[in-house]
Amino acid sequence: MTALSTPTAPVPAVPAAAPLAMSGRAAAVVPAGTPLTAAVETAVREHAHDGALPAYVYDLAHLRAHLVRIRAALVGTGVELLHAVKANPDAAILATVVRHVDGLEVASGGELSHVRAVAPGVPLAFGGPGKTDGELAAAVAAGVDRFHVESLTELRRLDATARAAGARADVLLRVNIPAAGPASPGSGAMAGPALTMGGAPSPFGMDPAEADAAARELPRLPGVEVLGVHAHLASGLGPEQCAAQAEGIAAWAAGFAARHGISLREVNVGGGMDVDYGAPARTFDWEGYGARIGRVAAAHPGVTLRIEPGRAVSAYSGWYASRVLDVKRSHGEWFAVCSGGTHHLRTPAAKGHSQPLAVLREDRWEAPWERPASDGGPVTFVGQLCTPKDVLARQVPVPQVRAGDLVVFAMAGAYAHNISHTGFLMHPDPAIVHVGG
């Protein structure tokens, strides 16, 4: 099987990426520095005039610039970059991403088939809990490069599947490593700050004791070869926390391999890079992280260290555009009712935040009655759904919002459209628009 080691196309070696482009058009009311590229604004206005809203707009040039920055931050570290497809499986997004990464991580048979159609030659890792026998067989047949195995039972099933196919599956054991206590090889503890998943009851990965049992059983499982350890322990971490997490995982993996006589060749430390929806103009500090993770990799010569971000790669390069259908005042508060809603953009409801937004003023108003408009006070932006939970952004300080204006919600390029319950109320699906490609 092909090793996960080489990007599918050359990556420009640049010292740093230029700042991501933002629009300065006076017609856009952009609170709190919400990023809005000129290409996205133009596309939104064009589609609004055609009546094709709500819509998702993905700026592929914006995404390319961000990926170049990420790769540049990792130059010289020896760290390999995978991307989690679950963040956004859009075909054009993935076709852009694969030119700048060492491989993709899929977590279902559906994602596997989709990626093989979109990017046939890209190296793949197959993760996720609850893999079915059919998915394991399809992954073996498709030549998946790494299996992130979640339990001893799954390891046994993969062994049987691989042997039946006359193959051998390369495996990383996904381990739910404890997060508290001092770190020392073999101690079963991870250094660094308190983390959300490590050491807590979870359906993800196996406890260290189960990993020990899996290692002891390896001589009876000739259909699999364990190359190392995978651990994804937390999300929403800054560069120092991410690097400390990686250091703890790598130290634990080294101790685990030494105890069981396993030749440790690979450690995947997952993703978890912070994406701050409250500060949309600020991206993760890839340069600071690159310096730190490079030191972690250097401390483990002969071991390939991988990271596996998803949200932090594509979140900034997607926007969800809608039109204000009505503006009303209720018990002293202003509400803007927008086309679409959280059944298209689930992120704010799922994470409990206000999605950053920009209002694009539309001067045309052809109705014979007075145009509904707010009076300058904070406005809560909601969708069309019959539930009070359909809130996209709460109490946004914008100068004014009028019926007919356009609203563009930023940071909608990951875990947004693809996690949304689009069938609710049977509204039409949002259009998908690509610019910069």
Kindly list the catalytic residues: 386
Name residue 87's amino acid. Answer: A
Three-state SS at 274: coil
DSSP 417: G
Strands (E), 164-234: 169-174, 224-230
As given in the structure block, the two tokens for residue 112 are 């596997």
Name the β-bridge partners of 84: 105
**C-alpha atoms less than 13 angstroms from C-alpha of 81 in its C-beta half-sphere:** 28
Report d(CA 61, CA 281) in Å as an integer: 17
Residues 6+ positions from 55 with CB-CB distance below 8 Å: 44, 47, 320, 321, 430, 431, 432, 433
Three-state SS at 189: coil
The vertex-265 CA angle with 259 and 266, nearest 5°, equals 105
Angle (deg, nearest 10), helices 133-141 and 109-118: 20
Residue in 327, 1, 299, 285 with CA at minimum distance from that of residue 167: 1
CB 47 within 8 A of CB 39: no
CB 44 within 8 A of CB 408: yes
CB 152 within 8 A of CB 207: no
CA distances from 135 to 49, 102, 112 (A): 44, 23, 9
Residue in 363, 360, 420, 377 with CA at minimum distance from that of residue 53: 360
Report d(CA 283, CA 273) in Å as an integer: 10
Whether residue 54 is preceded by a cis peptide bond, meaning omega within 30 degrees of 0, is: yes
Report d(CA 70, CA 100) in Å as an integer: 9
